[in-house]
Amino acid sequence: MIVDLKSISDDPRHFNLTLERAWWPDTGEDGRFLGLDGPLEASLSISKTDQVYLLEGRLNGRLRIRCDRCLEPYSQDLDCDFSFSLAASLSDDESTEVELEEEDLSVEFVKEGQIELDEIIREQVYLSLPMKSQCRESCLGLCPICGTDLNKTKCVCQQKKGHPGFSKLKGLRFRGD
């Protein structure tokens, strides 16, 4: 959804979007983020004071993420708030160009006086991702030697060798009288 910054005044405009799973499908890339796991609810408000636009929002949904340890996908709740401001000046009359006065990560989202809400939401989803993703506390990960998923099966690589020397005594019998 594209919002023209000229339509924003000091009275905040509110946007509520429900982004379906297909909005950000798993592209099959071998990345960590694998797309949405159900609809993503996004509510944003944009207001303007002098030459500063304030964007505030909230995201709520579920994400598909690849576990760093076992590389299997898992689902994780997304529930985050964000807010940032854009310091901008609209140049005169015809031109709707927005000049940004400060370095801001979000500069790239302003094009010809318009912002693309979807892009902002994507960025916020990325920012919400954990530094380390782990499907569960107890994830055993992959065997570093053979690559077996140790959550599913055991492999022999890391098993300590048993003590030799215990010979089996089975079959030994004493005959009485």
Q: Which residue has the tokens 């944003």?
A: 44
For 16, residues 6+ apart whose C-beta sits below 8 A from its C-beta are 41, 42, 43, 44
Is 142 an interacting residue with respect to Zn ion (CB under 5 A)? no
CA distances for 132 relative to 29, 65, 78, 162, 164, angstroms: 18, 10, 15, 36, 42
The DSSP 8-state label assigned to residue 5 in this structure reads: G
- Name the maximum alpha-carbon separation found in the chain: 119
- Residue 140 binds to Zn ion (criterion: CB under 5 A): no
Binding segment for Zn ion (CB under 5 A), chosen from 12-20, 27-35, 87-95, 135-143, is: 135-143
User: Two tokens at 66?
Assistant: 């690849």
Binding mask 20-59 for Zn ion (x = CB under 5 A): ----------------------------------------
In the complex with Zn ion, the residue whose CB is nearer, 89 or 158, is 158
- Applying CB under 5 A, among 5, 44, 120, 135 the residue interacting with Zn ion is 135
Report the nearest approach of Zn ion to the CB of residue 24 (Å).
22
Query: Per this entry, what is the length of the chain?
Result: 177
Binding residue count for Zn ion, defined by CB under 5 A: 11
**Residue 146 in the binding site for Zn ion (CB under 5 A):** yes
Q: Which residues bind Zn ion (CB under 5 A)?
A: 67, 69-70, 135, 139, 143, 145-146, 148, 155, 157
